Structure 1
Amino acid sequence: MGYLILSTVIKVLLFPAYRSTDFEVHRNWLAITHSLPISQWYYDATSQWTLDYPPFFAYFEKILSIPAAAIDARIVDLNNLNYDSWSVIVYQRSTVIITELVLGAALLKFIRSAVDPPTQRIISASLFLHPGFLIIDHIHFQYNGFMFGILLWSILMARNGKKLMSGILFAVLLNFKHIYMYLAPAYFIYLLRSFCLSPSGQVEIKNFLALANAVIVVFGVSLAPFALTGQIQQLLSRLFPFTRGLNHAYWAPNAWALVTAADRILLKYVKSTGKHIPVNLAGVASTSRGLVGDTVFAVLPNVKPIHTFTITIALQSIILIKLWFHPTYKSFVTALTLCGYSSYLFGWHVHEKAVLLILVPLSLLAAERHAYFRTFVIATVAGVFSLFPLLFTPAESVVEVVYSIVWFAMIYLPLSKRVYEFPKSLSYVILDIIEKIYLGGFLVLQIFVALFPILSRRKGADASGMEFLPLMVTSVYCSIGMVWGFMRLIFIYLHEDTAYQGQLSTIQ
């Protein structure tokens, strides 16, 4: 209860804070679902912020629009674009806090059913107070806490042996936000192997039909109104805009950020040395365009959607083979994390906010043992830091940095004591030192990012095209940690002793 009160006070104090365009996006969705018949929801283009989430989220916005209209009718006026009165600010930010209670309830249930409640209490508190939710939901503005609450309820059902309900909840989640498709392969293999098949491999007809029918019903409820009004093709075109480029932004820290940086370095090398290496002129223009848009390489071969899809599927296949032969709860959570991780690192046009698909399930593994904890620390620090550029106003920048440091200290000290292992060899000691140096580098990076605007104004760096340097440096540095965290986790997962893998987690 203390954490709930503390977090609520902090979030209410942030009501006047910076708001991204996502705030107007969701206000416009309130207006669309309230003002228009369902047959026009996915066709409306009054605003540039068109409805592009699955039907359950549209229904969710419809429900939220009812009290909004009673509070202030201008909130749901379709033509009242960029409305930012205090009434809409308080209302929309309050809905994020209230709906996030779904997350709180799931985490409370995790504690009550845990074998080691004190440890689970630390993990649950860390998730409820996670800087990612504070930055993305309560300042930038989204409803990730609510939707990750559904995901955690689904994972909890799997842990408690209620696999049918776990599958139903995940199907519901997919119809709230389709980005969770990144996790679907792990769910499919886990439920098929552990629920629809017997240990000997025989099909459990009753379970298979129950799960299949339940998923069909969920998707039917979601899509039927739009199928009846002939909107399915239009709906799909809104959900999957494949015309977007490889990178959402320079600072989404995945493998393609490293490849993009390597291309920029090679271009500088070619220009400075005069080497006769073919250069794509479109790639030269791409380097100076800024943050968002199609990424065209100047020296390296361009990456196409089929390349990203192939790499992602190949990595997930390796992960899922292990899950098929060892469909335990712990293996499921690890595979779930790795499926989200591989999609984040190698997917097409990945948004930096998608890092929560890694950080949330990875938190459930943090107290397994020291190897998992170290992976959790590296990925969490890199992932949370990569979200800092979302908030570029001075006051909010201070809040996110201070809050994240306090949060990290709150969970690092107690968890590290529970999982500490004495180094087994010199290589472990060396690896530990390198990782600590990398983590310490974030302090240097933060100082550089904070001081760069001041130095650039004095030296006129903005005029020379260097204004995006802090974002690019942040992207590259965080990408190193994210890639290393993935390599670490997949190594642990594939080399985990099968006897140990079959045991229940200490925090179950």
Structure 2
Amino acid sequence: MAADSWSWFPALALGVSLLKCLFIGAYHSTDFEVHRNWLAITHSLPVSRWYHENTSEWTLDYPPLFAWFEFGLSHVAQHFDRNMLVVENLNYTSPSTVLFQRLSVIFTDVVFIYAVRECCRCVKEQKGSRDLLNRPSFILAVLLLWNFGLLIVDHIHFQYNGFLFGFLLLSVAKHLKSQHLQGALLFSILLNLKHIYLYVGPAYGIYLLRSYCFTQNNKDGSVRWSSFSLLRLLTLGSIVVSVCVLSIGPFIAMGQLPQVLSRLFPFKRGLCHAYWAPNIWALYNVLDKVLAMLGVRLKLLNEAELPRASMTGGLVQEFEHSVLPSISPPITFICTLLSILPAVASIWRRPRGARGFLRCLVLCALGSFMFGWHVHEKAILIPVLPLSILAVESREDAGIFLLLTTTGHYSLFPLLFTPAELPIKVVLMLIFTIYSFTALRKLHSGQLSLLHRLEVIYLLGLVAVAIACEIVFPLSPWQQRFPFLPLLTTSVYCSVGVCYSFLRLYVSLLREQEKPKQL
């Protein structure tokens, strides 16, 4: 594509940046205070106290490289309002503080914007297509830059996911261009910014070992062990180790590694977050609750002896199941490992280039979301954004993308629970969803639907759930008696769609694996 044909991209990026500015005065969650507190900790305290400070309940629990990122931001923040950098000023939200925090997210999204452009350059364009709006690169740019979930999570709810996803997508783009060392470096940096991206670590590790460390394959696609390059493996290892040493090294030298790890991996927090992520454990929890209620009614169980752990309230809590076996961290680890093992094995046996790696990455992210320990609902964006790249190149992936994105995005609705934000989230999601359906349908043949009839019925059911949870329930007398019901309904209904999308992704992977046998 000619260089001047990209003149539309800056306008698209500027448009979404201006939209983000409109949300500066909108509702912000406790994550706003989390990051303000981290600014104060990194600016006001010596490095040796960063991971020990607990004046606030929102202690520093991101890897050291992100702490240094907050440290850098704090030196700009002091020019807006120095009081935000006082550790004791809990829940401090002066107008200058709000302005700085919001602008810091918008400006650091430059990394995300650049990464989106690089990903769009890797997309295969349709031959003879002169319609800009129907170009895969243009559609992908809209799907990523204007992603509904990212907009509300970062620029209303408040976080720095765009900045972090920039490193992920830029790393993916490097691998799509076969620039493996640069891709490995960027992913290593990302892991030391936020450790949740360990979700996709197996996809990176196996793909790089298979496609970079082995320089040749046999004709049937199997590994030729004689072509293994120890030098390449050592080069990759040195990149990963160097980044980790720069990030964690100072804390190891201070003898604080156990303290840092205890903050990064708080296994005492329990199986589920306060609002259950729409995954397999949400369905497991509900099944346990239903069995307990039936047991009490049939007089098989004594209600007084059942655990009384709250199902949705509170910040973070452990949940002991009443009938079904309680789930421990090792069990979730084993389930996660088993869920991603076929995907990882597929890129070892038949790498199929960077697109195969990208599909494996999505499956690893979604498998970890499905079976992980204490998963946050916002983690659904990790598989959604990379899947956008596959969606513009494959009809099958486009259908899965529409199903997973619509379900996953709606599952984020409870994050914005104030009445003022209701019109915003409804309008933004409708615009993004309608565009996704129309653009991808037109791109992939036009007339035929990308979804099966039952999938369409399921997605229409989201409308009924939204009306019930957002409009009917708040006006009903049940609100005081069953305050958890909207969260429970949203989580369980969306869990069905996410689980189904996961299975459909695997079916797609198996079909692709069998293609050579059919030729």
1:298 aligns with 2:322: yes
Distance 1:463 1:439, change over 3 A: closer
Equivalent-residue separation in structure 2 for 1:299 and 1:82 (angstroms): 40
Query: Residue 205 of structure 2: which of 158, 175, 188 is its match?
Result: 188
Deviation, 1:280, is 8.6
Give the corresponding residue for 1:12.
21
Alignment of 1:134-145 (within 5 A): 134-145=151-162
Q: Deviations over 1:323-378 (max 9, x none)?
A: 10122111100000000111100111111111111111111111232221111111
Give the corresponding residue for 2:499.
483
Distance 1:236 1:251, change over 3 A: closer
Give the corresponding residue for 2:489.
473
Percent of residue pairs bearing the same amino acid type: 42
Distance 1:144 1:285, change over 3 A: closer
Alignment of 1:438-477 (within 5 A): 438-456=458-476, 459=477, 461-464=478-481, 466-477=482-493
Query: Residue 165 of structure 1: which of 150, 161, 182 is its match?
Result: 182
Equivalent-residue separation in structure 2 for 1:52 and 1:7 (angstroms): 30
Q: How many residues align?
A: 491
Deviation, 1:27, is 0.7
TM-score, normalised to structure 1's length? 0.92
1:404 partner letter: M
Alignment of 1:230-379 (within 5 A): 230-274=255-299, 276-277=300-301, 281-287=305-311, 292-327=316-351, 328-379=353-404
Equivalent-residue separation in structure 2 for 1:156 and 1:289 (angstroms): 41
Equivalent-residue separation in structure 1 for 2:302 and 2:184 (angstroms): 51
* C-alpha contact 1:251 1:474 (8 A) present in aligned 2: no
Deviation, 1:497, is 4.4
Structure 1 residues not aligned, in runs of 5+? 502-508
Equivalent-residue separation in structure 1 for 2:258 and 2:296 (angstroms): 47
Equivalent-residue separation in structure 2 for 1:439 and 1:125 (angstroms): 22
Secondary structure of 2:55's counterpart equals: coil
Deviation, 1:462, is 3.8
Give the corresponding residue for 1:204.
229
Equivalent-residue separation in structure 2 for 1:237 and 1:374 (angstroms): 40
Distance 1:323 1:94, change over 3 A: same
Deviation, 1:121, is 1.8
Q: Note the aligned Cα RMSD (angstroms).
A: 2.1
Give the corresponding residue for 1:89.
98
Distance 1:78 1:218, change over 3 A: same
* C-alpha contact 2:274 2:312 (8 A) present in aligned 1: no
Give the corresponding residue for 2:193.
176
Q: Deviations over 1:292-341 (max 9, x none)?
A: 52222222221122211111111211111111012211110000000011
Deviation, 1:291, is 7.6
Equivalent-residue separation in structure 2 for 1:262 and 1:331 (angstroms): 36
Give the corresponding residue for 2:146.
129
Equivalent-residue separation in structure 2 for 1:278 and 1:495 (angstroms): 49
Deviation, 1:215, is 1.1
Deviation, 1:496, is 0.8
Give the corresponding residue for 1:505.
none
Deviation, 1:288, is 8.0
Distance 1:367 1:279, change over 3 A: farther
Query: Residue 60 of structure 2: which of 25, 35, 51 is its match?
Result: 51
Secondary structure of 2:212's counterpart equals: helix
Alignment of 1:21-60 (within 5 A): 21-60=30-69
* C-alpha contact 2:473 2:486 (8 A) present in aligned 1: no
Distance 1:440 1:323, change over 3 A: same
Give the corresponding residue for 1:70.
79
Query: Residue 116 of structure 2: which of 107, 111, 116 is its match?
Result: 107
Deviation, 1:285, is 4.3
Secondary structure of 1:18's counterpart equals: coil
